[in-house]
Structure 1
Amino acid sequence: MPAHSIASYTKSARLFALYQSLPRSEADAVSLTELMQTYGSNPDHFTNERKNLENDLTGLNQIFNDVFYSNALIRVPAWDQNISGKTARFYIEASFSIDVLNEQTVFFWEMLDKYTANYLPVSFKQEIADKLTQLRRQDKDKFHQSPLGQWQDHLITLPSIVQAPTLDSDVLESIHQALLQNRQLRISYQNKWEEKPVQRMVYPKGLIFIDNMVYLTGFNPTDDHIND
């Protein structure tokens, strides 16, 4: 929260402070009256400060549209609707953030979504989807015209001749938790030249993606003297 009332700052500083003070969910959306509690504190200038608050909200929304190509600053009722006789409430879309957008960022998120999303936990996949939605609202045409963006026209994805096995979601979840929490895993392992699988306790280290297959890497202790 700002140390002083937002109304005491210059125009540019007011907009940034206002952006920081707005809630990030519709459930917490606030009215102009509620915003005035942090925006303006001088009762003698209340009318002028409230009008400035309305103008600043409109200006901030215009910046989001012009610079970030985003409708992240949401008004209920919507900006294009008449609010006569209604109490307007405001909030910022939760997935929005003022990130630095460059060629490498877009390329990274698109490749992550395309090649690894099927192996990630549901929460991770949703975060990737939210990030891509945010990036697509920004100046993506500029990225596609850049040298790195044009590489996408020369990338061809062919169906793999190696068919990945169907993995149980509970098994994947166990692997994810073991990796994130540094836990051991008990697995059933079978060499292709053996008739029956054996039970092993392994120390998982990470996942490797090759073609459309995913491999679990880790350590398999061979005796009772391994240093954990």
Structure 2
Amino acid sequence: MSLTELMVGYGDDSDNFANERKNLENDLIALNQIFNDIFYNDALVRVPAWGKNISGQTARFYIEPSFSIDIINEQTVFFWEMLDKYTANYLPVSFKQSITDKLTQLGRQNKDGFHRSKLGRWQDYLITLPSIVQAPTLNDDVITSIHQALLNRLQLKISYQNKWHGSSAERVIYPKGLIFIDNMIYFTGFNPTDDHIDDEVLLKAHRNFAVNRITEAGVIDKQVPDWVGRDIFSLDNLNKLGKLEPTDSVQIKLF
């Protein structure tokens, strides 16, 4: 919209209209500078373009539709760039696409600000090659069901191919999370069991599963018990307890 249209809601003193109009124009110029300095984004667009002579023309202003007020700093962009590099060779297509979409969004908002930063310049000195060990193919439907169950705290029924058996067995799991180790993904959770005052008893129901051996997965419309959300069973604590290691050790069995 034009300055005249903006003044309908901005100006309230008809005797001081010219000064208020000039103040509004200065505010818009300052706002454009803020968007450029902080967000690295030309979110506030002027037609004719900023810096061009508008003598005899009616300047119009609008906000770029793709603009988001989210703070985008170099650490945020670095995280997504590295996630894209280090997961490109084994994430399911749907996951990879979501990361690509996020980077596209950041690119629109950040432009070349990140690439001028100290973190951004590291990209010129890094390259990621595929793992020597070929990552297994993952089932997108299985990943989607796991994701849905985790976010909604719902129970999950899986068909799992045991390590030493060719056939799959169905089992219900209280889902807890996903574990990324090298180019493998593991699903971690608990076998169904009743609540108990002793956490050690509940820990005996903890299990890890290689996601590539889950042949089917379906969300059950039934909440996981509250005890699954206890702090002692957070992924960080399970890791400290040695429960997230996919080995056939005394502490854990990978089914």
TM over 0.5: yes
Q: What is aligned with 2:133? A: 162
Which structure: greater strand fraction? Answer: 2
Q: What is aligned with 2:245? A: none
2:66 is equivalent to residue 88 of structure 1: no
Other structure's SS at 2:171 match:
strand
Share of identical aligned residues, percent? 54
Q: CA deviation at 1:108?
A: 2.3
Q: How does 1:76-225 map to 2 (within 5 A)?
A: 76=47, 78-79=49-50, 80=52, 88-97=60-69, 99=71, 101=73, 104-116=75-87, 118=91, 120=95, 126-138=101-113, 140-144=115-119, 150=122, 155-221=126-192, 225=194
Q: CA deviation at 1:87?
A: 6.6
Q: CA deviation at 1:155?
A: 4.3
4+ runs of 1 displaced by more than 6 Å? none
**Once the two structures are superposed, what CA deviation does each residue of 1:9-36 show, in whole Å capped at 9, x if it has no partner?**
xxxxxxxxxxxxxxxxxxxxx4434432
Q: Distance in 1 between matches of 2:53 and 2:189?
A: 58
Other structure's SS at 2:78 match:
helix
Other structure's SS at 2:131 match:
coil
Other structure's SS at 1:184 match:
strand
8 Å contact from structure 1 (residues 207, 215) kept in 2? yes
Q: What is aligned with 1:56? A: 27
Alignment-mate amino acid for residue 130 of structure 1: Q
Q: CA deviation at 1:184?
A: 1.2
Gaps of 5+ in 2: 197-224, 226-255
8 Å contact from structure 1 (residues 202, 218) kept in 2? yes
Q: How does 1:38-49 map to 2 (within 5 A)?
A: 38-49=9-20
Q: What is aligned with 2:239? A: none
Identify if the C-alpha distance between structure 1 residues 72 and 200 changes in structure 2 by more than 3 Å, giving closer, same or farther: same
Other structure's SS at 1:203 match:
strand
The two structures, once aligned, show a CA RMSD in angstroms of 3.5
**Once the two structures are superposed, what CA deviation does each residue of 1:159-188 show, in whole Å capped at 9, x if it has no partner?**
213333333433322222111111111111
Per mean C-alpha deviation after superposition, the further-off stretch among 125-134 and 36-45 is: 125-134
Alignment-mate amino acid for residue 115 of structure 1: Y
Identify if the C-alpha distance between structure 1 residues 98 and 205 changes in structure 2 by more than 3 Å, giving closer, same or farther: closer
TM-score when normalising by structure 2: 0.59
Identify if the C-alpha distance between structure 1 residues 201 and 67 changes in structure 2 by more than 3 Å, giving closer, same or farther: closer
Identify if the C-alpha distance between structure 1 residues 85 and 106 changes in structure 2 by more than 3 Å, giving closer, same or farther: closer
TM-score when normalising by structure 1: 0.65
